Structure 1
Amino acid sequence: MNGKVAKRNGKGAEMDTSGAESNAKGAETSAKGAEMNGKGADRSVKGVESNAMGAERTLVVEHVTPEVRNRTRKLRKRMGKVRK
């Protein structure tokens, strides 16, 4: 029995070292995560820029004709959004 226990202990030691390696890998992935966060920040800046562009576009909206307004009102009435 003692021999078997010794072998198991040996395997346990090997697994411990592999665990340390996997921890090191985890640290690498967390560093990658930090890089991704940086990219996210870039994207948010881009989002703000696109919002600004959207605001510019809204200024160039054509005048809504009464016919179109009535059509949309009829649709909304059918859906039960408008009370009239």
Structure 2
Amino acid sequence: MMTNQTANAAQEFLTVNHGDRQHQIVNIELMMRRHQPEEVVDFLVRLSLQYKKTLARSIRRDRSDPFINELVARRFRIRMAINTIRKEVRAA
């Protein structure tokens, strides 16, 4: 089981502030109620791979597309959340 502190830290990586609003890439807290940490990590890894494929397609189509920046940022945030969860799982 994951501690609330770790879930909150992972959620912070997966929440993007846009000034007057917030966007959650994934709601970790909801997922943690129904799934084990390893399952959440597996989901996040698959999501990151999906973003990687989308990123590659976007780069092939138009290298100047600002959506590329968004995909890179999302992949980074997902990787940081994965690392946060894995660190706790290894320590347990």
TM-score, with normalisation over the residues of structure 1? 0.33
Could you say which structure has the larger radius of gyration? Answer: 1
